[in-house]
Amino acid sequence: MSRWPVAVILAGGLGTRFGDRRPKQLLEIGGRTILEHSVAAFEAASGVAEILLVMAPGFTAEAERIVHAGGYRKVRAVIAGGSSRSDSTRKALAALGAAGAGSADGKAIRGVLFHDAARPLVDARIIADCVRALEDFAGVTTAMPATDTVLVVEGGLVTDIPDRARLYCCQTPQAFRLDTIVRAHQLAAAQEDDFEATDDCGVVRRYLPDVPIAVVRGSERNLKITTRGDLALASALLAAPSENRL
């Protein structure tokens, strides 16, 4: 593939809603850590050449032990994340080098997939669809159509009810051509506003609004583990027979 993609797995959060001192990515489901499930998915993806793991500060050595023990050969490095999602992305981009930088074996890094480590059930189809979409688009996100009616609430009152047919729930991976995501974050870093994106599509949409972002269909299984209830659900999905999986 001409845009030789690298996967950046973002595991920089501490998961404070779990109430633990250790990051939630180091909790186990199905006999492996959440982190390892996510790394394994991209290790097995034929369209992904390398993996860069962004880990919560203070836990990089533990992540390196997990990577080494699991024999994940695609992981090129484990680096410490920043104080926010955007900071972690920028640290990852700095580690990859400037747009068009070469990889360890001399191939050009032109595409980057960003994935939340807290989504350990991402499947091969989603990853492959994101890689393929980069052939035609500079930005790609994974998403699912909203199934619930969404309300806009201000001051405890409903102020709007958007048309559900136009609403999607965002997931990861999100994929970008390297020059696009580097430029978007350069512009974001130069601003002095209070905007704080919750994902990388938000950064591209705000600072490069003319860049189209394609949508790849996600999966109900590709849930983000945020609460202990999500942890129990992910464990149940892993244990379910394949014909019963969502």
Tokens of 57: 């500060």
Tokens of 53: 């793991």
Pairwise CA distance, residues 213 & 232, whole Å = 33
Looking at residue 92, its pLDDT comes to 95
Looking at residue 103, its pLDDT comes to 46
Pairwise CA distance, residues 177 & 243, whole Å = 36
Measured CA distances, 54 to 76, 119, 144, 161, 244 (Å): 11, 14, 25, 37, 33
- How far, in whole angstroms, is CA 112 from its chain's centroid? 10
Is residue 216 within 8 Å of residue 116, measured between CB atoms? Answer: no
Looking at residue 239, its pLDDT comes to 86
Looking at residue 18, its pLDDT comes to 61
Q: Work out how many domains the chain is built from and give that number.
A: 1
Strand order in the sheet with 111-116: 75-80, 50-55, 5-11, 111-116, 168-177, 139-145, 213-217
Q: Each residue's pLDDT tens digit in the chain (246 positions)?
A: 344 789 999 998 765 556 667 889 999 999 999 999 999 999 999 999 999 999 999 999 999 999 999 999 999 999 999 988 899 999 999 998 843 444 445 566 789 999 999 999 999 999 999 999 999 999 999 999 999 999 999 999 999 999 999 999 999 999 999 999 999 999 998 987 778 888 999 999 999 999 999 999 999 999 999 988 999 999 999 887 654 444
Looking at residue 129, its pLDDT comes to 97
Looking at residue 241, its pLDDT comes to 61
pTM, 2 dp = 0.90
If you count them, how many residues does the chain have?
A: 246
Measured CA distances, 16 to 2, 19, 24, 196 (Å): 40, 5, 8, 19
Q: What is the DSSP string of 137-175?
A: -SEEEEEEE--S---EEETTEEEE---GGG-EEEEEEEE
Pairwise CA distance, residues 85 & 133, whole Å = 24
The domain of 75 spans 5-244
Looking at residue 104, its pLDDT comes to 46
CATH, residue 238: 3.90.550.10
Looking at residue 246, its pLDDT comes to 42
- Give the Cα-Cα-Cα angle 209, 214, 219 (nearest 5 degrees): 130
Is residue 200 within 8 Å of residue 212, measured between CB atoms? Answer: no
Region of 30 on the Ramachandran plot (φ > 0 left; ψ -120 to 50 alpha; else beta): left
